[in-house]
């Protein structure tokens, strides 16, 4: 087994303010697609497909979906989320589909319009993704003292707040993304990475406070922004939220006890996982870590995230040598593809890629991850899903089958899939 690069874990732990969203311009008014992706099992019910082309926000003008306002009207119960496939059990001897999850930390829309751009790409390739929303991205800077970060003064944050118009743009993206079938998870709030007072030092009660505030900002964005005329988010965030990723990939140990009783089903905060079938934490949550994948040109591996590519290429500098950027872009693309191909051609373990909406080194990592997304989408038997949808598929499987799949090592190709996908007697 190759070693992880020397800077890989440290880089993951230091990713902070560079991932913040700043300087918003407009947002996409793109009409959502009206035909569902065919990921696995049965297609979504026809009722879920109705009414979505009327309005990009999906609430006003969507006569097919009921609307029951929640609280101050920031959210609404509009029924089950559209475009959710129905998972089916693996048949004896069937090779599992290749699941790939693209996820985004601190999702928000800025002048680069990357949130709306990757929603468009997802429509083109029939993918769903997990967008991890930072709670303070829906809290105007003028109200920042409402945020009480553990161990810090009111309003403190290691990422920037968004201007009022930026908050509106982000809410529009979140609204549209959910109606397109994407997951809205959480990236918590202030993104504190300090070894002394950062999230790695927080207790379970501090994590609970942080999470309750992240949820609360979404629940009360109309009150906090004063934009009472805007459409609600078409979901109850407290009920929809089943997972997320911690800032800096730190603090999972004390986070898990805090969220285990809040309806969470998974956590994606652990760094340095291997490309093997996932298991559960002692608290019963699915553990979906970023994974160590081949790093072309090196004997060590790199975590499957843009910041870790950056850290190993430039030492963490987001403005590296322009003459080297074409090579770095190709290297990061080839790294994603090497990780994908290793799973796809062998044990079929789900592949996890994490990114930020950023422009480091001239945007090369956005280019490389999009190229990888499009190339992966073209492969047969690939399912581009959210973590939420992966959980649904895993929980539909026979436990004895999942247990056997977890015995497959990194890069191990079964001689006969019947040994691994045939249910065993208890």
Between CA 6 and CA 311 the distance in angstroms is 10
| 57 found inside a domain | yes
- Residue 46 has a pLDDT of 34
- Residue 72 has a pLDDT of 96
Q: Which two tokens stand for residue 94?
A: 């069937």
Q: Residue 243, class by beta-carbon neighbours within 10 Å (0-12 exposed, 13-18 middle, 19+ buried)?
A: buried
| 407 found inside a domain | yes
Between CA 231 and CA 235 the distance in angstroms is 12
- Residue 163 has a pLDDT of 86
201 alpha-carbon distance from chain centroid: 23
39-63 mean pLDDT: 38
> pLDDT tens, 317-358?
999 999 999 999 999 999 999 999 999 999 999 999 999 999
Give the count of domains, the chain: 1
Q: Residue 297, class by beta-carbon neighbours within 10 Å (0-12 exposed, 13-18 middle, 19+ buried)?
A: exposed
pLDDT at 47 over 50: no
- Residue 199 has a pLDDT of 97
DSSP 218-260: HHTHHHHH--TTSPPBSS-HHHH---B--GGG--HHHHHHHHT
* Nearest Cα residue to 220 out of 238, 240, 208: 238
| 7 found inside a domain | no
With cut-offs at 50, 70 and 90, classify the pLDDT of residue 52: very low
299-326 mean pLDDT: 96
pLDDT at 6 over 90: no
5-10 mean pLDDT: 39
Domain that holds residue 172: 40-421
| 10 found inside a domain | no
Q: Which two tokens stand for residue 132?
A: 């991890």
- Residue 425 has a pLDDT of 86
85-96 mean pLDDT: 96
Q: Which two tokens stand for residue 90?
A: 């693996």
With cut-offs at 50, 70 and 90, classify the pLDDT of residue 64: low
Q: Give pTM, 2 decimals.
A: 0.88
Read off the CATH number of the domain in which 362 is found: 3.20.20.370
Contact 355, 103 (CB under 8 A): yes
- Residue 169 has a pLDDT of 95
Measuring CA to CA, how many Å separate 4 from each of 200, 301, 329?
21, 5, 20
With cut-offs at 50, 70 and 90, classify the pLDDT of residue 143: very high
Q: What angle do CA 412, 415, 420 make, to 5 degrees?
A: 80
> pLDDT tens, 163-177?
889 899 999 999 999
| 141 found inside a domain | yes
- Helix, strand, or coil here: 202? coil
With cut-offs at 50, 70 and 90, classify the pLDDT of residue 13: very low
With cut-offs at 50, 70 and 90, classify the pLDDT of residue 59: very low
> pLDDT tens, 268-288?
999 889 999 999 999 999 999
Q: Can you point out the beta strands (E) in 258-300?
A: 266-267, 286-287, 292-294
Measuring CA to CA, how many Å separate 139 from each of 67, 154, 215?
24, 13, 11
Average pLDDT, the chain: 87
- Helix, strand, or coil here: 413? coil
pLDDT at 181 over 80: yes
- Residue 400 has a pLDDT of 97
153: Cβ contacts below 8 Å, ≥ 6 apart? none
Contact 383, 98 (CB under 8 A): yes
Q: Count the Cβ atoms, other than its own, within 10 Å of residue 293.
A: 27
| 16 found inside a domain | no
Measuring CA to CA, how many Å separate 77 from each of 57, 175, 311?
14, 13, 42
* Nearest Cα residue to 129 out of 102, 109, 106: 102
Q: Which two tokens stand for residue 76?
A: 């609404």
Q: Residue 119, class by beta-carbon neighbours within 10 Å (0-12 exposed, 13-18 middle, 19+ buried)?
A: buried
pLDDT at 85 over 50: yes
Share above pLDDT 90 across residues of the chain, in percent, rounded to a whole number:
81
Count H helices and E strands in the chain, helices first: 14, 11
> pLDDT tens, 215-252?
999 999 999 999 999 999 999 999 999 999 999 999 99
Q: Can you point out the beta strands (E) in 40-187?
A: 68-70, 75-77, 98-105, 130-133, 183-186
Lowest mean pLDDT among 52-56, 150-154, 349-353: 52-56
Q: Which two tokens stand for residue 263?
A: 């309806």
| 1 found inside a domain | no
| 349 found inside a domain | yes
101-123 mean pLDDT: 95
Q: Count the Cβ atoms, other than its own, within 10 Å of residue 228.
A: 10
pLDDT at 3 over 70: no
């Amino acid at each position: 087994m190759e070693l992880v690069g020397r800077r890989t874990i440290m880089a993951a732990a230091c990713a902070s303010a560079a991932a913040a969203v700043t300087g918003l311009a407009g947002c996409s008014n793109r009409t959502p697609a009206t035909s569902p992706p065919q990921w696995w099992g049965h297609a979504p019910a026809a009722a879920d497909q109705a009414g979505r082309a009327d309005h990009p926000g999906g609430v006003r003008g969507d006569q097919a979906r009921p609307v029951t306002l929640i609280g101050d009207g920031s959210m609404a119960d509009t029924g089950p989320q559209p475009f959710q496939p129905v998972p089916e059990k693996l048949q004896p001897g069937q090779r599992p589909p290749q699941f790939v999850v693209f996820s985004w930390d601190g999702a928000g829309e800025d002048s680069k319009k990357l949130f709306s751009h990757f929603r468009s790409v997802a429509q083109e390739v029939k993918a769903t993704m997990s967008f991890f929303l930072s709670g303070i991205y829906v809290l105007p800077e003028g109200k920042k003292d409402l945020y009480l970060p553990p161990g810090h003064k009111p309003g403190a944050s290691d990422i920037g707040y968004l201007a009022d118009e930026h908050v509106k743009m982000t809410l529009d993206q979140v609204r549209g993304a959910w109606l397109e079938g994407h997951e809205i998870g959480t990236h918590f709030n202030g993104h504190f990475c300090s070894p002394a007072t950062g999230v790695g030092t927080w207790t379970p009660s501090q994590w609970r406070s942080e999470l309750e505030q992240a949820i609360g900002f979404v629940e009360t964005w109309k009150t906090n922004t004063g934009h009472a005329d805007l459409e609600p988010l078409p979901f109850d965030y407290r009920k929809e939220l089943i997972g997320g990723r911690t800032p800096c990939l730190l603090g999972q140990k004390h986070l898990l006890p805090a969220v285990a009783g809040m309806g969470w089903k998974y956590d994606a905060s652990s760094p340095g996982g291997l490309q093997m079938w996932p298991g559960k934490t002692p608290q019963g949550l699915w553990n979906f870590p970023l994974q160590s994948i081949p790093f072309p040109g090196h004997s060590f591996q790199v975590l499957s995230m843009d910041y870790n590519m950056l850290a190993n290429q430039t030492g963490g500098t987001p403005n590296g040598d322009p003459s080297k950027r074409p090579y770095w872009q190709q290297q990061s693309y080839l790294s994603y593809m090497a990780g994908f191909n290793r799973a796809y051609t062998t044990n079929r373990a789900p592949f996890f890629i994490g990114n930020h909406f950023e422009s480091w080194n001239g945007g090369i990592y956005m280019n490389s991850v999009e190229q990888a997304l499009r190339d992966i989408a073209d492969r047969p038997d690939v399912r581009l899903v959210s973590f939420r949808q992966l959980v649904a598929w895993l929980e539909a499987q026979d436990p004895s089958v999942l247990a056997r799949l977890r015995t497959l090592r990194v890069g191990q190709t079964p001689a006969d899939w019947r040994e691994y996908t045939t249910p065993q007697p208890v």
